[in-house]
Amino acid sequence: MAKVVKKQELKILRYEDGQLLPVEHRPVQEFPVKLVVNGRELATLIGSPHELRFLVAGFLRLQGFVKSLDDFLALSICEDVGVASVQLRGEVPETLRPVLTTGCGSGITFALPVPPAEPSGGEGQRFIPAAVFALMDELARRAGRYRSHGGIHSAAVGDGVSLILYAEDLGRHNTLDRIAGEALLRGIDLAGKLLVTSGRVSSEMAAKAASLGISLIASRTSPTDVAARLCEAAGITLLGYVRGGRFNVYVHPDRLDLTSVRASAECRVP
């Protein structure tokens, strides 16, 4: 009979004023899930343990294995052993080349998708800066796991008026996989929408957002140079350091509607 090893409760100490004191704190949970598709083990996803169906569905969607719900024959997750079993209508390619990414969490992709030759999705959509700040503020309000544990990333999608989808995970691009998966399972079109994220916008984040038709990406931190070039090619407005009523615009400032801001400034002129 296999011996069951109980998890030891960590005794965490905090250094303060020259001494170590016990503190009430639980580290963020890291949960590996072996992904088996059509009987073939593809990868092990490492993320947070909640709503794993969204993570799995979104990962498969953004890797190009599925495009709609009809592509799924079955999706089951056994959390006891950490296995996600998926049956798809299509065949899994025989040769897959994993690419290590800069992202925390899963940190792997089978192909970095390239932006479409012609930008698609919400080409005429424009956003006022107030909508960006409002969605970023809502993202911060909902990030309860960060406040209680630390180390959790969050992301949200909105339409410029209200928040549509929200996700948290220890991996920043896992949050985008979760949003993609939930949107797929619930039939929500993400084309032309605004994406805000707590983490850095890297090339894989930009490529995934482009494949979903996102029109604007905003981050509390910085994008990479490759992410900026991908967004430029995909027609995505890219904002960084969104905080304190300010942000940097890296590409496509034309998607920002500054009319109301200018009008307000003119009204204040004596």
Strands (E), 50-206: 72-78, 83-88, 99-100, 108-109, 153-158, 163-169, 194-197
Q: Name, in order, each residue with C-beta under 8 angstroms of 38's C-beta and a sequence gap of 6 or more.
A: 86, 87, 88, 91, 92
Burial of 173 (0-12, 13-18, 19+ CB in 10 A): buried
Q: Is 104 a residue of the active site?
A: yes
The active-site residue out of 78, 104, 231, 267 is 104
Give CA angle at 239 (115, 157), nearest 5°.
Answer: 75
User: Mind telling me the catalytic residues?
Assistant: 104
